[in-house]
Chain A
């Protein structure tokens, strides 16, 4: 029943940190939704790049700079292929999902939106897909509308049909919820937006490690993700956007690399995607992200995702069997996350007790306070899984939760 063709033992050998002991116990890392661990292939690629090739990009006439530029731009091509983007010119490299969304709000949003316009987001958004829209709403006078969620943590599509209308200019939502694991019905929401001529932005931070992404098939207009959720370095990420849109958008950050020429009579901007990439980026980080995508390309992802699904199922059933546990987020279509609350035990206390047992989870509001509000809870304990987790990890989690229940009697 629990067997899977995915060779998790071999994969674990690629992740050196998983061999670490915590308080004398084998680490059980169940916090990949906060940040995933990096395989040796990524660590080695970054180190090799820094040791042999590192230099600034797009500038030097010298050989190192040329090689560094080639490596950096090769990563952009890998990201484009990974997302199913038609061209690498549509990939803006960023420091992560947060910067990618802020790019859209401050460039597209600030130059386009006005007091008659509406932007629709959802109750299950991460703060990084809420606050940038609140900022642009303050700047432009546009109105933010929010699609509610039901008690399973699924979007209320009837409400969405009412909220998305002729004034809607943008529908921005999580592809996969970080707090609940819900995989949102992208095609329905994209169709609703398109019917009213609105654009769509997907926050793909939690989706890229767990579902296959193809922006052409999704039909959205922007897609944002972070390298550090994808087994790559933190401080890296990308925004995919349709070429026509990116071409029409003004720069949002000024600096080096985003210009063709600078003069006090007027500055000419570089073409996309460089127009949006001011300043020296995280060069070796982006090279590392390219290596992470190569690494994933060498895995049987269908088997990996099936393995993750089995872990989520195993964890859900075993936790519920303990009693006194309520799972937060029971959407029919969900990925990789088991968020729960326990009668009488605050998630922070749970997190500390699990930590002492070597089990790393996230305890808190997961930067999604509206989600917590809609469930009437201050916080949850969240175990999040990646393909490198095992059924033994799940058993260790459940045993540690049982210990917490005993301590709190």
Chain B
């Protein structure tokens, strides 16, 4: 039960119930589609990146579990207003957090609220759920019409 509470923290449950930045984005100029074919999770990330390479706006659509929905919601909050380079830097930090043995106290402080996903590493099959939106936004920011899959 304590592991479960570690995974399903209130922040995650809250973002699952009320996902932020969910829906369409008029004027989006970067987007990508992400799939987890094993579970059927689907996500689309839409971004508006301006001439200074700043993420002016970002939204997501799709359906998935609480971990993937909350992760997508928190991802949009985390990268909005950041430069593309900074957003990609967050991708790296997030990826390291959920896949490495890095102790919790050594997490980069710039992860901020994203630290709630630290517990996901205890649930190896769920790491893909937490990572899907990040892989998708990574594709959108590095290749304008990409489709990513957790199984590719």
Q: Are A348 and B1 in contact (CB under 8 A)?
A: no
Given the interface pairs A356-B1, A408-B13, the reply to whether A365 lies near B39 with Cβ below 8 Å is yes
Q: Are B67 and A407 in contact (CB under 8 A)?
A: no
The 0/1 profile, CB within 8 Å of A marked 1, for residues 122-141 of chain B is 01011001000000000000
With a cutoff of 8 Å between Cβ atoms, the chain B residues found around residue A281 in the complex are none
Q: Are A344 and B8 in contact (CB under 8 A)?
A: no
Q: Chain B nearest CB: distance from A367 CB in Å?
A: 10
Any B CB within 8 A of the CB of A349? yes
* CB contact between B66 and one of A349, A365, A372, A379 (< 8 Å): that residue: A349
The B interface is mostly helix, strand or loop, or mixed, namely helix
With a cutoff of 8 Å between Cβ atoms, the chain A residues found around residue B101 in the complex are none
With a cutoff of 8 Å between Cβ atoms, the chain A residues found around residue B123 in the complex are 352
Given the interface pairs A352-B123, A408-B13, the reply to whether A346 lies near B64 with Cβ below 8 Å is yes
Interface residues of B in 57-94 (CB under 8 A from A): 63-69
With a cutoff of 8 Å between Cβ atoms, the chain B residues found around residue A347 in the complex are 65
Any A CB within 8 A of the CB of B4? yes
Interface residues on A, range: 20 to 34
In Å, the complex CA distance between A352 and B129 comes to 12
Any A CB within 8 A of the CB of B3? yes
Interface residues on B, range: 20 to 34
Any B CB within 8 A of the CB of A369? yes
The 0/1 profile, CB within 8 Å of B marked 1, for residues 367-379 of chain A is 0010010000011
* CB contact between B39 and one of A344, A364, A407, A408 (< 8 Å): that residue: A364
* CB contact between B65 and one of A348, A356, A365, A372 (< 8 Å): that residue: A348
Q: Are A364 and B64 in contact (CB under 8 A)?
A: no
- How many residue-residue contacts, CB under 8 A, span A and B? 54
In Å, the complex CA distance between A409 and B13 comes to 9
With a cutoff of 8 Å between Cβ atoms, the chain A residues found around residue B113 in the complex are none
Interface residues of A in 354-409 (CB under 8 A from B): 356, 363-365, 369, 372, 378-379, 403, 407-409
* CB contact between A365 and one of B3, B40, B69 (< 8 Å): that residue: B40
Given the interface pairs A352-B7, A352-B126, A408-B13, the reply to whether A346 lies near B38 with Cβ below 8 Å is no
In Å, the complex CA distance between A348 and B38 comes to 11
In Å, the complex CA distance between A218 and B8 comes to 49
In Å, the complex CA distance between A403 and B8 comes to 12
Q: Chain A nearest CB: distance from B127 CB in Å?
A: 12
Given the interface pairs A363-B39, A364-B40, the reply to whether A348 lies near B129 with Cβ below 8 Å is yes
Q: Chain A nearest CB: distance from B114 CB in Å?
A: 19
The chain A residue sitting closest to B5, CB to CB, is A407
Q: Are A369 and B126 in contact (CB under 8 A)?
A: no
With a cutoff of 8 Å between Cβ atoms, the chain B residues found around residue A369 in the complex are 40
In Å, the complex CA distance between A16 and B5 comes to 32
Q: Are B66 and A364 in contact (CB under 8 A)?
A: no
With a cutoff of 8 Å between Cβ atoms, the chain A residues found around residue B4 in the complex are 352-353, 356, 403, 407
Given the interface pairs A346-B65, A346-B66, A356-B1, the reply to whether A379 lies near B13 with Cβ below 8 Å is no
Q: Are A348 and B39 in contact (CB under 8 A)?
A: yes
The chain A residue sitting closest to B12, CB to CB, is A349
The chain A residue sitting closest to B64, CB to CB, is A346
Any B CB within 8 A of the CB of A74? no
Interface centre among A347, A348, A379, A409 (most CB of B within 10 A): A348
* A to B CB contacts below 8 Å, 15 in the list: A344-B17, A345-B66, A346-B69, A348-B39, A348-B68, A348-B129, A363-B39, A364-B39, A365-B40, A378-B40, A378-B42, A378-B63, A379-B40, A407-B5, A407-B8
Having A348-B41, A353-B4, A378-B42, one finds 8 other A-B pairs with CB under 8 Å, namely A348-B126, A349-B67, A352-B125, A356-B4, A407-B13, A408-B8, A408-B13, A409-B13
